[in-house]
Structure 1
Amino acid sequence: MIQAATVDVVFPCLDEASALPWVLSRVPEGFRSIVVDNGSTDGSPDIAAAHGALVVREARRGFGAAAHAGLEAATAQIVAFCDADSSMDPADLPRVVDPVLAGEADLVLGRRISTSRGAWPLHARIANLELARRLRALTGLPVHDLGPMRAFRRTEALSLGLEDRRSGYPLELFLRAWSAGWRITEVETGYSPRVGRSKVTGTARGTIQAVTDMTRLLREVRETISKETTP
């Protein structure tokens, strides 16, 4: 059973007032919610606080900036990430956290499985499939999705020295964890249509930006590997 203060759940947030009540009500008992507000103008911070979440404010815009601010604010042994837009059900968090708690994995990724038509825009799905293909080729790991729900140990993640503060943050976490020899695995999690407007991969522009950021990170990692293996 999860004990209090064992797991902190970071929710990067930008104008998610419509989704937050449901999202925060679904967080399992024993998990603490940390909502990182990234400049909302719809009252999201007040709603989060009213539902018992710790609210952290991050002025620098960017998914990675909000995510890392949450990681730094966390105090629990294990940290999980989850989107705040209701596309993923926080009730699935134990499925992602349990392998870390049991010492069976160091990083667990929630592989998104659509629960209904329209949950995953075609352009975002295609981009994700291509990214997963590249990651399998690079790392040899059977990864299929770099989804927004994931779990790991806080101190180990902080030691990775993550630098990206935009949409490349999840990929940098994955790549640095793989480079550090972490045990990485996937579990299936449901994926539903989000509430409100997407700021990242739900739009074509956001997907293009994410692909640009992630392509740059992949290139940098390949260059590093090449230098390390060249006599």
Structure 2
Amino acid sequence: MPTPLVDVVLPCLNEERALPWVLSRLPEGYRGIVVDNGSSDRSAEIAADGGAIVVHEARRGFGSAAHAGLLAATAPIVAFCDADASMDPADLVGLVELVTSGAADLALGRRRPTAAHAWPLHARIANLALARLMRTATGIRLHDLGPMRAANREALLSLGLGDRRSGYPLEMVLRAASAGWAVVEIDTPYAPRVGRSKVTGTLRGTVIAVQDMSRLLRGERA
């Protein structure tokens, strides 16, 4: 197929139930890159059947999967989205338009829950605290550390992102701010996910994410 305008990186761990819907929602000109991070179900097979590029990343961690997808991308714009159907890939259009118009170097989706149980309370509280620290560290008025985002591929690669765990999304924002990028946040719907959460849907996953991000913020202050 011709090189698409946007490659959409979809980190994936056991998302066979959600992937058909997620891939069907990709806008025209957007190509899915599903990064299988050690799934024990049929996620990789379903992704391939759905027309996505499948990348296998053995090292566990959100950052490992997200960065493997970035390295595999060839489109001028790279977007990131969860593969659990909590986010609609069709909403990436608004983020991408900010980048292609020059209004933003990094466009972020601020999660707006569509149901009370879409975003667990412990995860919301952790996000609020980390977002406050992020605003202090960057001077940018941001409210969310959500994974939905878009930017120029070459520019993203130039950031030299090194985190391979839950801190990857935060490191991207911190490095972008240090580089003087225009970072813009817009609202995006956030629905209940399909299947079991591996990160912020569990208390343990949230604690690990907070630890990873706190470490990055301490490094930024130092």
TM-score band by shorter chain is over 0.9
- Give the Å deviation of 1:135: 1.2
1:99 lines up with 2:98 in the alignment? yes
> Quick one: which amino acid aligns to residue 48 of structure 1?
A
The 5-angstrom pairing of residues 31-70 of structure 1 reads 31-70=30-69
1:197-216 deviation line (CA, Å, top 9, x unaligned): 11111100000000000000
Counterpart of 2:114 in structure 1 is 115
Matched with 1:6 is 5
2:28 paired residue number:
29
Which residue type is aligned with residue 162 of structure 1? Answer: L
Q: Distance in 2 between matches of 1:61 and 1:116?
A: 30
- Give the Å deviation of 1:104: 1.1
Post-superposition CA distance 1:61-110 (Å, at most 9, x none): 11000000000000000000000000001110101111001111100100
Runs of 4+ in 1 over 4 A off after TM superposition: none
Residue matched to 1:151: 150
TM-score computed with the length of structure 2 as normaliser:
0.98
**Separation in 2, partners of 1:116, 1:61:** 30
Paired residue secondary structure (1:29): coil
Distance 2:213 2:221 in 1: 12
CA distance in 2, matches of 1:187, 1:164: 25
Unmatched segments (≥5 aa) in structure 1: 224-231
The CA RMSD over aligned residues, in Å, is: 0.9
Q: Which amino acid in 1 is paired with 2:104?
A: A
The unaligned stretches of length 5 or more in structure 2 are: none
Determine the C-alpha separation between the residues in 1 that align with 2:145 and 2:75. Answer: 23
TM-score using structure 1 length? 0.94
Check whether the contact 1:49–1:55 (CA below 8 A) recurs between aligned residues: yes
Is 2:201 the partner of 1:202?
yes
Which residue identity lines up with residue 60 of structure 1 in the other structure? R
% identity of equivalent residues: 69
* Matching residue's letter, 1:64: G
Larger Rg: 1
CA distance in 2, matches of 1:102, 1:4: 20
Amino acid at match of 1:69: A
Offset from partner CA, 1:159-189 (integer Å, 9 cap, x none): 1111100000001111001001110000110
The 8 Å contact of residues 4 and 31 in structure 1, kept in 2 or not, is answered as no
